[in-house]
Amino acid sequence: MPESPDKAYYVTTPIYYVTAAPSIGSAYTTVVGDVLTRWHRQRGERVWYLTGTDEHGQKVMRAAEANGQTPQAWTDHLVETAWKPVLSTIDVANDQFVRTTDADHTERVQEFWRCLQEGGDVYEGRYEGPYCVGCEEFKLPADLVTVGGVDSCSIHGTAVEMVSEANYFFSMSRYADKLLELYETRPGFVQPESARNEVIAFVKQGLEDLSISRSTFDWGIKVPWDESQVLYVWIDALLNYVTAAGYGTDPERFAGLWPADVHLVGKDILRFHAVIWPAMLMAAGLDVPHQVFAHGWLLVGGEKMSKSKATAIAPEVITDHFGSDAYRYYFAKTIAFGSDGSFSWEHMSAVYTSELANGLGNLASRVTAMVGKYFDGQLPAPAADGPAEKALAETLAATVERADAAIDRLAIHEAVTAVSDLISDINGYVTEQEPWQVAKDTSEEGRARLASILYAAADSLRAVAVLHNPVMPKTCATLWAALGADALGALVAQRVQETGQWGQLPAGVTLTKGQSLFPRLEAAEGVAE
């Protein structure tokens, strides 16, 4: 089916299990997705950014039981008090929040599976084998490790449970060849390359059919043709990406969103997204997404940080101390998107001080203060550019290209690094040009030279305010204000691709030193900086 020309750039995060409050692990995907979508919005594209919660299944049911609540009361409470509020804690501008207990979602999921059943892709069978509740996954022998003589999940390290049930099955094995063809003809479908290779090797071993229902508990969406069973949580959860987009309820809206441009997922849930999900879509005659991108894990002691292992850190512990912008910057820049990474308080403090406070913060305050001191706060018109200004202008244009191209490859860390390198270059330029020395020369040439230096530095900061806006929206709003936002009008909403052009800041605009962009950190209680 040809895509609608008005289709939005549609990005999704996984929907998170509501077993506990969010950690910086789950917030990681959401933050990076937010940087990506804000960047695309700032290119002038229509964007749709979806996140939400996965509320059915044994894992959530057991968490609710352990807390003496019904699963519905438990998820209602946690979603409202923790999962939705964390989005403002980390300053995420999602367009929609989906819950798998939403009536719209459950009805569409039933409809979807009824169609597949009627189409002959579902049959009755018996499942016998290991299951990990932590992963909510039927495991293959190759997925297991032995811990204390017991077959265990390689991700959770906990014993798998043996399941023996009469279930319904989806004839997924039928789609193995079509899946291999998809990976072959669309190399970008699974990325990065290591993830693509892993998926191809997995499917080449041969695909088994998938058990799609459970009969031993009832916290789930009822199988539409057999109310004694509930649908397997993953084949309910994956459908959120289409039910939230209007599948089956609003064809016009659906055409304007689907297929998704990218599903951002952690590497632990790659197979679900790159194998099961496209097979389900093929069976239903729907387009598959453009891309599934698997990122790495935040590790603690070499293992995945997780809610269940109590190694999780709450995002607000970090944002309360460093602010949401520094938080976003840290996770977007210091972890290569696609690789594992980690967080440490010491590393974050060092990055905050060297790159944000002493880097961008100091630069903005030096430049605005000097325009205040030497030109009464009015940005002077530049005289002719010298070699240093020409070099800076070239660096600026190259930075925009480098960052924009990195975003297209989902190398989010490279895009942020390109902008932070630009800040170092501007700082280097100011240090080398020594405007405070030039200011001692009160001749006409001296004043003209001083005007050129300060103009070049301020105009470069204008570009930084655009390019860093997707990562640090609060800081960039303050920076725009310091650059005289009121007088700048449309420039404040400048598009990324217009940023690289030199000399856009209007001379005469009033610059103010204003508040410090990154205040000195107070020593955190009990934490050495």
Binding residues for ligand ME8, per CB under 6 A? 14-17, 25-26, 28-29, 54, 237-238, 240, 265-266, 268-269, 297-298, 304-306
The smaller minimum CB distance to ligand ME8, of residues 108 and 449, is found at 108
Element (H, E) at 176: helix 176-185
Residue 346 CB, nearest distance to ligand ME8 (Å)? 19
Residue 511: both structure tokens together: 């610059």
Residue 22 or 382: which CB sits closer to ligand ME8? 22
Q: How many CB atoms lie within 10 A of CB 508?
A: 12
CB nearer ligand ME8, residue 343 or residue 518: 343
The Cα 164–Cα 302 span in angstroms is 34
Cβ contact 221:109 at 8 Å: yes
* Angle (deg, nearest 10), helices 362-375 and 444-467: 150
Secondary element (H or E) of residue 262: strand 262-266
Q: Whole-number minimum distance, CB 386 to ligand ME8, in Å?
A: 47
Q: Which is nearer to ligand ME8, 192 or 484 (CB)?
A: 192
Q: Taking the complex as a whole, how short is the minimal distance between the CB of residue 273 and ligand ME8, in angstroms?
A: 7
Distance from chain centroid for Cα 413: 11
Which residue from 206, 195, 335, 343 is spatially nearest to 269, judged by alpha carbons? 195
Amino acid at 388: A
Q: Which is nearer to ligand ME8, 266 or 470 (CB)?
A: 266
- Cα distance between the two ends of the chain: 56
Min. distance of Cβ 58 from ligand ME8 in angstroms? 12
Q: Provide, rounded to whole angstroms, the least separation between the CB of residue 105 and ligand ME8.
A: 12
Contact criterion met (CB below 8 Å) for 131 and 165: no
| Residue type at 476 in one-letter notation | C
The number of angstroms, rounded, from the C-alpha of 286 to the middle of its chain's C-alpha atoms is 25
Helical H segments across 468-510, by residue range: 473-482, 485-488
The residue (of 287 and 498) whose beta carbon lies closer to ligand ME8 is: 287
Closer Cβ to ligand ME8, 266 or 315, answer by number: 266
Radius of gyration of the chain from Cα atoms?
A: 26
Nearer to ligand ME8, 16 or 518 (CB): 16
CB of 124 to ligand ME8, least distance (A): 25
The pair phi, psi for residue 162, each rounded to 5°, is -85, 125
- Token digits for 240? 């959120």
Smaller CB separation from ligand ME8, 269 or 457: 269
Kindly state the tokens that stand for 489.
């009008």
Rounded to the nearest whole angstrom, what is the least distance from the CB of residue 250 to ligand ME8 in the complex? 21
Query: Distance between CA 123 and CA 286 in Å, rounded?
Result: 21
Give the whole-angstrom CA distance, residue 299 versus residue 516.
33
- Judged by beta carbon, residue 26 or residue 58, the one nearer ligand ME8 is 26
Quote the least distance from Cβ 59 to ligand ME8, whole Å: 8
What is the distance between the alpha carbons of residues 423 and 430, in angstroms, rounded to a whole number?
A: 11
Q: How far is the CB of 372 from ligand ME8 (least distance, A)?
A: 44
HSE-CB of 314 using CA atoms within 13 angstroms:
11
- For residue 326, the surrounding DSSP H or E stretch is helix 324-334
Contacts of 407 (CB under 8 A, 6+ apart): 36, 39, 40, 415
Shortest reach from residue 376's CB to ligand ME8, in Å = 50
Tell me how far, at minimum, the Cβ of 51 lies from ligand ME8, in Å.
Answer: 10
Cα–Cα distance measured from residue 436 to residue 424, given in angstroms and rounded to the nearest whole number: 19
Cis status of the peptide bond prior to 382, with omega within 30 of 0: no
Least distance (Å) between residue 27 CB and ligand ME8 = 8
Helices 24-42 and 315-322 pack at an angle, to 10 degrees, of: 60
From CA 172, how far away is CA 210, in angstroms rounded? 6
